[in-house]
A = this chain, B = another copy of it.
Amino acid sequence: MGPLFRKSKQRKIILGALSEMKTHPTAQELFARVRETDPEVGQATVYRNLRILKEQGEIIELSFGAGARRYDRNVARHEHFTCRRCGTIEDIYPDTRSLTGSLHKKGYRVDEMKIEAFGVCRKCAKKIKSNR
C-alpha cells in the first residue's frame, strides 16, 4: 500500500490557511498567506502538502484555462463561475445528469466532468444595471 501520512505541523497550518481563504488561491497565494503567520514554512512544503492533501481527498485542485493551479477546500462535487469583471470565482452546483447521460448513450464511460463558466457575476450585473 501507499505511504503513511503523518499530521505534521506544517500540513495542519497549510490546510487551516486554505480553509480560511474563500478565494480559491494558487499555491503561491497560499504560500504568501502562510508566511504571514509562519515565516519558517518553505515553499516546497506548500507544494508538497497540496499534492498530498489532494491525494488524500482533503482538497481539490482546479485549473482555469492557463496559469497557475488553484486549490479548494470544498470537496463536494461542484463547478466554478469566474467573473470577468471582479475576478471572483464562485462555486456553482449545476445539474450535469443530462450531459453525462447523453455521453453514456453514445458509448463513452464518463468518470469525471469539469465545467467552467465565465461571464459577469450577479453582484457585478446589478452594479452595471444601477449605473445606467
Contacts and interface: CB of A to CB of B under 8 A. Distances in A.
A47 interface: no
Given A61-B66, A63-B66, A66-B61, A99 B110 contact: no
Given A113-B117, A114-B115, A122 B108 contact: yes
A112 interface: yes
B112 A119 contact: yes
Interface string A79-100: 0010010000000101110111
Given A81-B110, A84-B111, A111-B119, 18 more contacts: A61-B65, A63-B63, A63-B66, A66-B69, A81-B108, A92-B103, A94-B99, A96-B99, A99-B115, A100-B117, A108-B117, A108-B119, A108-B125, A110-B119, A111-B120, A113-B115, A113-B116, A114-B117
A117 B121 contact: no
A18 to B, nearest CB: 18
